[in-house]
Structure 1
Amino acid sequence: MALHTDTEIYKATYALCQLVTQLVASMPRNYKADFGADLRRDCMRLVRRVYEANTSDDKAGILQRMRQEVESINLSLRLSVDLRLVSRGQYARAIEITASIGKQASGWQKHAERALDAGLSRQSGQCAIESGRAAAPKGHRQAQQGYRRQQPQ
């Protein structure tokens, strides 16, 4: 398991958080306090979801909620451009990041669901050495061969 801060999805969520914080800072005062604060809070929640998904056994459920939150942020960003709180260029940058996050979360969710279906999810306390992943190439090959034998044809 990689550190959550080393993943591309974490970097994207953090970049979105930074961008939204800058966008909210330039919003008019009457929108900044409630609308902007909610938008920043939603972005911070995405960053925390990456950590949750990386450390949880129920990755698929967390990633599904994360994808829903990305859509909520997209809606807020769209409203902010329609209300002329942010420029179209700023909106385009933000949507590019949210699209990347959504794609990565979808891929990660599909991988987690396939792993769960195949019985590959790690049990609590199982370490990489036990699974053969941290072993030398020979150990890894042996672990892969054992996995292939277990799958029904």
Structure 2
Amino acid sequence: MALHTDTEIYKSTYDLSKLVTLLVANMPRNFKADFGAELRRRCMALVMRTYEANTSVDKAAVLQRMRMEIETVNLSLRLAVDLRLISVNQYSRAIAITDSIGKQATGWQKYSERAHAAGPSRQSGQSALESGRAAGPQAHRKAQQGYRQTHLQ
């Protein structure tokens, strides 16, 4: 499993958070405290959702929630441009990033669902540590002999 910080989706969510933080800094004071702070929180939640999906067993459910949160961010950005809190150019840059995040999350979700449907790659869900592989070849052979005795009789 790759580190979540090495994935393209993490980089995109981080870039979105950075862009939104800069956009909120230039909003009028009466919108900055409520509207802007909530928008920043939602973007940071997307960054954290990437970590959660990378470490979760049920990635598909986490990614589904992430896709819903992306739509909330999209709606907030659209409202910001309609209220003239951000420019159309700034909006287009932010939406390009959210589109990229959405496509990546959708692809990752579909992959996770297919992998989950295919089942575990190891027999009976053994981990490398349980099979002895993490301890070396002798421990692995001993663990495999124990497995054969208990499961193949």
Please give the TM-score of this superposition, normalised by the length of structure 2.
0.80
Moved more, 118-127 or 15-24: 118-127
Contact 1:115 1:121 in 2 (8 A): no
Match of 1:126 in 2: 127
Deviation at 1:74, TM superposition (A): 0.1
Distance 2:121 2:90 in 1: 40
Q: Is the 8 A contact 1:4 1:51 kept in 2?
A: yes
Pairwise CA distance, 1:65:
0.1
User: 1:125 and 1:35, CA in 2 relative to 1: closer, same or farther beyond 3 A?
Assistant: farther
* Corresponding residue of 2:23: 23
CA contact (8 A) 1:53 1:63 kept: yes
Distance 1:121 1:103 in 2: 27
1:5 aligns with 2:5: yes
Amino acid at match of 2:19: L
Q: CA RMSD in A?
A: 2.1
For structure 1, which runs of at least 5 residues remain unmatched after alignment? 133-153
TM-score, length of structure 1 as denominator length: 0.80
Question: Which whole-Å CA distance do the structure 2 matches of 1:121 and 1:51 have between them?
Answer: 23
Q: Which runs of 5 or more structure 2 residues have no equivalent in the other structure?
A: 134-153
Do structure 1's residue 114 and structure 2's residue 114 form an aligned pair?
Answer: yes
Displacement, 1:127? 4.3
Q: Which has the larger radius of gyration?
A: 2
Report the Cα distance in structure 1 between the residues aligned to 2:59 and 2:106, rounded to whole angstroms: 11
